[in-house]
Structure 1
């Protein structure tokens, strides 16, 4: 490493005049267009772009200059994800610095990640799948009605809903319902024994979990866990389901932690965070062609997915998620918070919805150094201030997030 990297991959959009090629660049007829050793000019770079070449191999310089160049390219990579946040926000500026540092750490210390190129951030070629209906011929209610005919909802899910709505439910009743699903028991116990709780002794039974967290807390967590396996057949060429659930789990962890810092019980917020984007899964599954246009518009213009959804579809995943949860007869607060997680000011629980909105933004920011492809949705200072949580506390949650995300993702996905 003392002499710098001998060869480095550089995305076409990050090329600058004076860089030297370490490998030949072929022309359209497989002849050599630019030979190894060529010092690139502005004209050369433009032709490379015209040939739709995503990256080229460049001769490395000394270590100091390599690190400066890497820092420049890393900043160019991270900055667009923050286009929609308030540039005057002290908190988002702090989040930007942490995202930038995390990306540099992966690039330099781990030496196990290559900055994604612009072409890699765009939607890929899509397999032939038909939409449920043509644009303008249906809406959220039609998608949900269609999905209700296909989704196999386990009995445990409905029994947990009944528990959440019954004020006099006993701990024994909760434990009895949860124990009906062996897989649910295992996931629930792994969750309560994770670092987001850090109980002094291991929780080995559902009864013990109920005694510590409470009837509503355990029921709410179990409700969210039960919902994850219901969503299948998502086109992998549009979105990797594991990546989707990792983001949802990340949002759930941040939601719980922020809620507790703001003076709320955290379990219900964990469940809202886990399910906040279920509407997007329905869009991917039922309108794959239309959602491809959403992805192309979002990534091509570097705007948040929600904005692209409203432009292309006329409604967002938040509205669709709210419609689905209402059809499932979920608790009213869960329905409201999922529907308002991008617009807390429009709901009746603005402070609670602002928790999910902030958690969603922090989950976006945390994933940037892992190759995340979507622009942060942003958030107003007014909504951040609603929470009355110190900026230093929020940034500390960001720093400590990795271990919990790793543990819980392994447990639930």
Structure 2
């Protein structure tokens, strides 16, 4: 290491240790999380500033749909803020490759994150990391506990038990067994296929094998989740084909459906809208399966603008993001968005705690098509929306869905040619 690099590193460590800077600094934070503005301004920012003299934070979010293009323009023009909230995978990787996000590989706090947590904000080989992993969302099923009690139902843990519960709800006839539509398509892939599929392709091992070209989307591990989705159609209620995402949310929160294939991001909204007790269970495991997996999908990271004049202060803030204090503060302020660090976290919301507790029981993985295999045309992630929806409406067989996805991937991705 050169003398200059040693000096910079030593200075940064000293600053991080003291939490102070030589002169007052204001760090501007770019983000798409405009729904979290009061949480940042009333909880997160005061907590940080109280412990870090001389560093102020200015949270400046923008509309989510405009974020990527606006951020790119600001970075290119040299007008972006100091701190960059990072989308997962390729959008942020491209910023790093253009030299617009700082390399954070040597940040002390990175030791608090697993390879899976860092994967969304690391180079393909995992050698460099450019954003601190902040939060993930976990997939599973939310259920109406009052309906379960009324019908004498036990929470299912296996695939057979899951379908037995759905059959019992359908036979009673008082409630829609499961609230999900396919009008918007992404639900079928995200809350359907990616939710339950993890136990068929064995989580990270299966995802890595697909990236490496060692498994194919026509293999049974990737087709079987489509077979499960085809069975779901019986339990979704009349007109599910034209049912939108908000329609499904309303059916559940109004108490008309017993089960909701979910992401943990629903927790805060459901708490406001539903007047019944809720519980949650992870994706049921197939018969004969050892262990279990959950889709614990990386959602948000935070990085440092490489052109920021406030590098030292920025790194102090990023170190704080990897602390137990921030993990507990964020997890309770935004229930359903879970810290990705190894911090000990205690959640006040019991439903959020149920989701988080699955990490102790099952291995975590991420959505299967979000890294590397969706960089070409056709985009595999987007194509999975169509495939899952077509299977559920009965226009494709599960096997046809696997063949269509494999054909698209093989058309551009070298490991599958």
TM-score (norm 2): 0.29
Determine which structure has greater relative contact order: mean sequence separation of CA pairs < 8 Å that are 6+ residues apart, divided by chain length: 2
Structure 1 or 2: more helix by fraction: 1
TM-score (norm 1): 0.29
Q: Which of structures 1 and 2 has the bigger CA Rg?
A: 1
